[in-house]
């Protein structure tokens, strides 16, 4: 593996260019947090196989920049990332929005131990990692947005996360190809608010965001 300083130098320009393409900017400290996160991902992934993406550039484009493509679509201040895995999209979003609260939940202890390490090394005071199945997690307060990325089909997502929401909560699903049969299968009581295509720098894949809300009765 490359030494830390070399890895940061090699991917700093790619990351900053990706931010610019997404219409985003951040301060020096945030850039250093992202590059530190990339280093941790690269190192832990070699040992614990956290994600199928292996090279630093893959991790940067497929996961970090992809996660950041969601930023302009966020509403509110309390977010939960369900099935977060190695922290996507929760960690990149929490770096960009340090004043907002992020809960990252995953049933895989190996991955939440990694998130604990990330939170501490990056000093992310706005992040809390939870090692539970989402069905067994009972928060003190509901969330403004419930976010999933490569998690499950929409009906299963809504069923497993309903107890985290109020009528005002927006469910957000990041998807690849959109299956209209899946969208048609959402349970009664919910409406699809929007379906939009996402563009990720350097990633030639279908990416979409679907927003869903409970119906006002």
Full pLDDT tens readout for the chain, 217 residues: 444 556 778 899 999 999 999 999 999 999 999 999 999 999 999 999 999 998 999 999 999 999 999 999 999 999 999 999 999 999 999 999 999 999 999 999 999 999 999 999 999 999 999 999 999 999 999 999 999 998 889 999 999 999 999 999 999 999 998 878 888 899 999 999 999 999 999 999 999 999 999 998 6
**Structural domains of the chain sorted by starting position, each given as residue range(s) with its CATH number in brackets:** 4-214 (3.40.50.150)
First to last CA, the chain: 56
**Residue 91 to residue 115: CA distance in whole angstroms:** 9
pLDDT of residue 5: 56
pLDDT of residue 1: 43
pLDDT of residue 118: 98
pLDDT of residue 138: 96
Residues 6+ apart with CB under 8 A from 125: 98
pLDDT of residue 98: 98
Take residue 38 and report the two structure tokens written for it: 């990339």
Residues 6+ apart with CB under 8 A from 93: 67, 68, 70, 71, 74, 79, 81, 102
Which residues, listed in sequence order, are joined to residue 210 by a DSSP beta bridge? Answer: 173, 195
134, 159 in Cβ contact below 8 A?
A: no
pLDDT of residue 122: 98
């Amino acid at each position: 593996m490359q030494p830390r300083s070399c890895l940061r130098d090699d991917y700093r320009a790619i990351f900053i260019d990706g931010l610019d393409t997404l219409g985003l900017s951040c301060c020096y400290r945030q850039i250093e947090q992202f590059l530190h996160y990339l280093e941790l991902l690269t190192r832990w992934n070699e040992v614990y196989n956290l994600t199928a993406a292996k090279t630093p550039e893959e991790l940067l484009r497929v996961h970090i920049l992809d996660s950041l493509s969601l930023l302009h679509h966020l509403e509110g201040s309390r977010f939960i990332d369900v099935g977060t895995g190695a922290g996507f999209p929760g960690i990149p979003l929490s770096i960009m929005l340090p004043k907002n609260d992020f809960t990252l939940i995953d049933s895989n202890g190996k991955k939440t131990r990694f998130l604990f390490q990330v939170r501490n090394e990056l000093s992310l005071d706005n992040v809390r990692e939870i090692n539970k199945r989402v069905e067994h997690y009972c928060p003190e307060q509901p969330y403004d947005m419930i976010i999933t990325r490569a998690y499950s089909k929409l009906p299963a997502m809504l069923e497993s996360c309903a107890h985290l929401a109020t009528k005002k909560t927006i469910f957000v699903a990041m998807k690849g190809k959109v299956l209209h049969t899946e969208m048609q299968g959402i349970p009664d009581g919910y409406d699809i608010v929007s379906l939009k295509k996402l563009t990720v720098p350097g990633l030639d894949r279908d990416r979409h965001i679907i927003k869903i809300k409970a119906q006002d009765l």
